[in-house]
Amino acid sequence: MGFDDEFDEEFDEELDEDLDEELDEPSSKTPEEVVESKTPATRIVTEGNKISVYFMSTIGPGEKKQKLNVNTGNNVGDVKETVANLFGLDPADFHLSSGGVTMDESSVLKDYNISDGDDILLIPASTAG
């Protein structure tokens, strides 16, 4: 079958030409492009114990309670940011309180003698003192 052989050869030649043209075109990506990592270069190590505490919020309708594992060496401000995300609140709208004492955001949790299983209250910023 001569017709089929000619068609196959013609097809193969055209296909080879198209592939060669694609290889000759310059790529828009350069090999020198640097990929920036979003991973922190160093991990901050905090000294303290891992404990489970309960965060209770009376902000908004009804009382809400969430359990969270924290390191007692963590900064109160960082914990407050996490708790704000957990409850869907703005961190500026509340303070954290344990044992009747409003926690300072620049302190660490172990400064307040928090133990495993303790409750930490979220109190509205307007009533905190």
How many domains are contained in the chain? 1
Residue 107 falls inside a structural domain = yes
Per the structure, the complete domain to which residue 112 belongs is given by 50-124
Q: What is the DSSP letter of 23?
A: H
Residue 95 falls inside a structural domain = yes
Residue 45 falls inside a structural domain = no
Which of the residue ranges 12-16, 97-101, 120-124 would you say has the lowest mean pLDDT?
A: 12-16
Residue 12 falls inside a structural domain = no
Residue 102 CA neighbour count, 13 Å, CB half? 9
pLDDT at position 70 is 94
Please report, rounded to a whole number, the percentage of residues in the chain having pLDDT higher than 90. Answer: 53
3-state SS string over 17-41? HHHHHHHHCCCCCCCCCCCCCCCCC
Residue 65 CA neighbour count, 13 Å, CB half? 7
Q: Which of the pair, 2 or 48, is modelled with greater confidence?
A: 48
Contact call for residues 51 and 69 (beta carbons, < 8 A) = yes
Q: Which of the pair, 35 or 45, is modelled with greater confidence?
A: 35
Mean pLDDT score, 71-100: 94
* pLDDT exceeds cutoff 80 at 35: no
pLDDT at position 32 is 64
Residue 38 falls inside a structural domain = no
The CATH number of residue 78's host domain is: 3.10.20.90
Residue 31 falls inside a structural domain = no
* pLDDT exceeds cutoff 60 at 7: no
Mean pLDDT score, 17-24: 51
Band of the pLDDT at 93, cuts 50, 70, 90?
Answer: very high
Tell me the residue type at 83.
V
Q: Which of the pair, 116 or 22, is modelled with greater confidence?
A: 116
Residue 14 falls inside a structural domain = no
Residue 27 falls inside a structural domain = no
Band of the pLDDT at 29, cuts 50, 70, 90?
Answer: low
